[in-house]
């Protein structure tokens, strides 16, 4: 859905992009609610969901900058922060991986390393970034994109993005009796970085794991 939203934005079909973004947000919320409510979380979903969120965020930033809706400086900060945190997440993953540090074990989502949680400022920044994307698009449709409150939101996003640069709350995972049940814990925003690169690396997923996840759903 992200490429379609981006296409609508760059072709000035802002109303269509806004409606599709609302649908995407609602379905993402509904999917997460059902997974939590009925305990239907799967390894497959833990990779795809945050990766989809990261792709959507990047698509919105790039397409809004292309259409001169989002200032280049702020868009560059958002994307630059994503890249920086992604690289740092990879480093933390490698640093905390117990020997042998092989390529296969590095990308194995069932191999536990450090528990990486977003800091408070990172959570606030993520919320503000999403708000800026949404209201920038909404303001373009309904004519308040140049309102001074939008300028306040842009400056706030820029400030929190700069402050949150490089902040990762890293903790060791708790030891478990059955090591085979260990899973990589990466919540919300930072989880998207590893998940996205796993997809870009075209990492194969075992057929039996995929079948199990489908049956669980």
Query: What secondary structure does DSSP assign to 41-76, as a single string?
Result: --HHHHHHHHHHHHHHHHHHHHHHHHTTSS-HHHHH
Average pLDDT, the chain: 74
Question: pLDDT tier at 131 (50, 70, 90 boundaries)?
Answer: very high
In eight-state DSSP terms, residue 186 is B
Residue 51 has pLDDT above 80, yes or no: no
Question: pLDDT tier at 177 (50, 70, 90 boundaries)?
Answer: very low
> Cβ(113)–Cβ(173) under 8 Å?
yes
Q: What is the pLDDT of residue 111?
A: 67
CA distances from 107 to 45, 156, 198 (A): 16, 36, 7
Residue 133 has pLDDT above 90, yes or no: yes
pLDDT tens by residue, 9-39:
999 999 999 999 999 888 877 777 777 777 7
Residue 215 has pLDDT above 70, yes or no: no
Mean pLDDT of 68-86: 89
Q: What is the pLDDT of residue 187?
A: 40
Residue 211 has pLDDT above 70, yes or no: no
* Domain residue ranges of the chain, discontinuous segments joined by +: 2-216
> Cβ(112)–Cβ(172) under 8 Å?
no
Question: pLDDT tier at 67 (50, 70, 90 boundaries)?
Answer: very high
If one counts every other C-beta atom within 10 angstroms of the C-beta of residue 113, the result is: 21
More confidently predicted of 28 and 162:
162
Question: pLDDT tier at 129 (50, 70, 90 boundaries)?
Answer: very high
Q: What is the pLDDT of residue 95?
A: 78
Q: What is the pLDDT of residue 199?
A: 43
Residue 82 has pLDDT above 60, yes or no: yes
């Amino acid at each position: 859905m992200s490429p379609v939203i981006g296409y609508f934005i760059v072709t000035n079909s802002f109303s269509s992009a806004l409606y599709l973004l609302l649908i995407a947000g609602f379905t993402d919320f509904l999917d997460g609610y059902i997974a939590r409510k009925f305990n239907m979380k799967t390894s497959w979903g833990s990779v795809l969901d945050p990766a989809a969120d990261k792709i959507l965020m990047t698509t919105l930033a790039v397409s809004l900058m292309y259409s001169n809706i989002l200032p280049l400086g702020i868009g560059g900060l958002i994307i630059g922060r994503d890249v920086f945190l992604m690289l740092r997440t990879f480093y933390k993953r490698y640093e905390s991986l117990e020997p042998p540090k092989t390529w296969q074990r590095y990308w194995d989502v069932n191999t536990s390393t450090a528990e990486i949680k977003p800091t408070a400022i990172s959570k606030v920044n993520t919320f503000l970034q999403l708000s800026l994307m949404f209201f920038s698009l909404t303001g373009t449709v309904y004519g308040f994109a140049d309102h001074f409150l939008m300028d306040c939101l842009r400056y706030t996003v820029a400030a929190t993005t700069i402050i949150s640069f490089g902040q990762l709350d890293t903790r060791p995972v708790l030891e478990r009796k059955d090591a085979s049940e260990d899973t990589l814990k990466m919540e919300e925003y930072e989880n998207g970085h590893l998940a996205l690169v796993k997809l870009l690396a075209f990492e194969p997923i075992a057929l039996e794991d995929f079948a199990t996840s489908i049956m669980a759903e």
